[in-house]
């Protein structure tokens, strides 16, 4: 008999299993995929650590989480500074003085930039959609060149058909600072994320290619308590309906003999015509000097059963349904629902770790 059955060897499940094992508990981890690490998984191609499920940059304000993670890796000094490509014009992200000076060559100071943005902003009292929200918050040039096409690709709809709430704010920075994040701690684990998971799961029994839902009755009997990190609606056999997600398709390419494809880890393609939203060149996450390179084209796509669910869709329908599932989950004190799929919430890695460290079953 195990103390805990942990469903999913992603970040939530792996940190939980690690901490429970440290407390003398016997854990079994079952993972549907053929590898550990969940969406943080990296594998190595031509000596380069490839982020298989999208670029993952660790960043946090939480010093406790930052120190905790250092047990399992050394973080390098990577600072995320994406570049936007709009029809061949290159702009620094996030929106900052470098972006403004490139957009408007006659702008040289923060005051001038602010004034230009204010001139372009539209007075719209209650924006009804992303188009109106963008014109209100960012003004014409920033919205049309850097937000509109990217968002349309992400949501698979025209800007005036996307709800306004998806663009709550447009962070504008009036300094020459290309650091995408505001957090004091940031980096990429030297050697990739998978090693972090190998250390977390050292000494823990893990079964790969094991879908909990396919063998639920047996597995449930094997442990006192269960930590479930899969989709909450699947656990309840979709009895209240299916939750929707946005999905992504990744096209990975090894470019032999190309040492440096784009000179930066992350490029965002912000026009509507280019079908992908991002191109990732993985070696730049770790300052790689290999003779080859690996790039990943990221295509947003509508989610349907069978595809990987990546981002929850927080509209009323889905929020209400998720809330109803959470009420069902709360009635089951043998099973804990944790992580991004079981809670139907987007969490960054640091938030995920913080949640496990505060888990009532580990106190």
Residue positions annotated with a catalytic role: 169, 173, 246, 278, 298, 346, 348
Question: Of 264, 354, 347, whose CA–CA distance to 38 is shortest?
Answer: 347
Q: How many angstroms separate the CA atoms of 15 and 17, rounded?
A: 6
Q: Which residue is nearest to ligand FAD (CB)?
A: 10
- Of 166, 348, 361, 362, the one binding ligand FAD (CB under 6 A) is 348
Q: Enumerate residues 286-325 that contact ligand FAD by CB under 6 A.
A: 310
Q: What is the DSSP string of 280-298?
A: EEGGGGTT---SSEEEEEE
Which residue stretch of 49-57, 90-98, 102-110, 275-283 sits at the interface with ligand FAD (rule: CB under 6 A)?
Answer: 49-57
Helix (H, G, I), strand (E, B) or coil at 203: coil
Our finding on whether 7 is near ligand FAD (CB under 6 A) is yes
Count helices and strands in the chain by DSSP H and E runs = 12, 16
Identify the helix (H) or strand (E) that includes residue 221.
Answer: helix 216-221
Please, what is the minimum distance in Å from the beta carbon of residue 272 to ligand FAD?
21
Extract the runs of DSSP E, i.e. beta strands, from the chain.
Answer: 2-7, 27-30, 42-45, 48-51, 58-60, 83-86, 89-92, 185-187, 205-207, 223-228, 245-255, 266-269, 278-281, 293-302, 311-312, 335-337
Comparison of 30 and 113: residue with beta carbon closer to ligand FAD: 30
Contact flag: residue 187 with ligand FAD (CB under 6 A): no
Q: Which stretch binds ligand FAD (CB under 6 A): 172-180, 190-198, 287-295, 338-346?
A: 338-346
Cβ distance 15 to 187 under 8 Å? no
Site string for ligand FAD, 235-274 (x = CB under 6 A): -------------x--------------------------
What is the end-to-end Cα distance of the chain in Å, rounded?
21
The residue from 21, 39, 49, 268 that contacts ligand FAD (CB under 6 A) is: 39
Min dist CB 265 to ligand FAD, Å, is 11
| Contact between 347 and ligand FAD per CB under 6 A | yes
CA 107 to chain centre: 34
Alpha-carbon gap, residue 95 to 99, rounded angstroms = 6
Q: How far apart are CA 209 and CA 194, in angstroms?
A: 17
Q: How far is the CB of 311 from ligand FAD (least distance, A)?
A: 6
Nearer to ligand FAD, 29 or 101 (CB): 29
The residue count for binding ligand FAD (CB under 6 A) is: 35
Residues at the interface with ligand FAD (CB under 6 A): 7-13, 30-33, 38-40, 53-58, 211-213, 229-230, 248, 310, 339-341, 347-350, 352
């Amino acid at each position: 008999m195990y103390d805990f059955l942990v469903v999913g060897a992603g970040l939530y499940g792996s940190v939980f299993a690690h901490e429970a094992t440290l407390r003398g508990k016997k854990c079994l981890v079952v993972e549907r995929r053929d590898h550990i690490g969940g969406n943080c998984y990296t594998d190595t191609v031509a000596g380069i650590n490839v982020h298989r499920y999208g670029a993952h940059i660790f960043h946090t304000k939480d010093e406790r989480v930052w120190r905790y993670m250092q047990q399992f890796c050394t973080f390098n000094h990577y600072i995320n500074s994406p570049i936007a490509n709009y029809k061949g014009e290159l702009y620094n992200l996030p929106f900052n003085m470098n972006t403004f000076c490139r957009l408007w060559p006659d702008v040289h100071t923060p005051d001038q930039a602010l004034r230009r943005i204010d001139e372009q902003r539209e007075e719209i009292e209650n924006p009804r959609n992303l188009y109106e929200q963008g014109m209100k918050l960012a003004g014409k040039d920033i919205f049309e060149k850097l937000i509109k096409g990217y968002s349309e690709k992400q949501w698979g709809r025209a800007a005036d058909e996307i709800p306004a709430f998806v663009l709550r704010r447009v962070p504008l920075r009036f300094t020459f600072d290309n650091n995408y994040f505001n957090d004091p701690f940031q980096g990429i684990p030297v050697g990739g994320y998978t090693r972090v998971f190998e250390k977390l799961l050292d000494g823990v029994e893990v079964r790969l290619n094991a879908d909990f839902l396919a063998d639920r009755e047996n597995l449930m009997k094997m442990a006192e308590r269960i930590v479930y990190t899969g989709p909450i609606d699947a656990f309840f056999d979709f009895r209240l309906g299916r939750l929707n997600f946005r999905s992504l398709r990744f096209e990975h390419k090894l470019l032999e003999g190309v040492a440096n494809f784009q000179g930066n880890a992350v490029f965002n393609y912000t026009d509507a015509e280019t079908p992908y939203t991002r191109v990732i060149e993985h070696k730049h996450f770790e300052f790689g000097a290999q003779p080859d390179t690996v790039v990943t084209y990221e295509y947003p796509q509508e989610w349907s059963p069978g595809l990987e669910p990546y981002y929850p869709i927080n509209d009323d329908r889905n929020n209400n349904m998720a809330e109803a599932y959470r009420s069902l989950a709360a009635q089951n004190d043998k099973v804990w629902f944790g992580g991004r799929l079981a809670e139907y919430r987007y969490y960054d890695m640091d938030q995920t770790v913080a949640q496990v460290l505060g888990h009532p079953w580990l106190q």
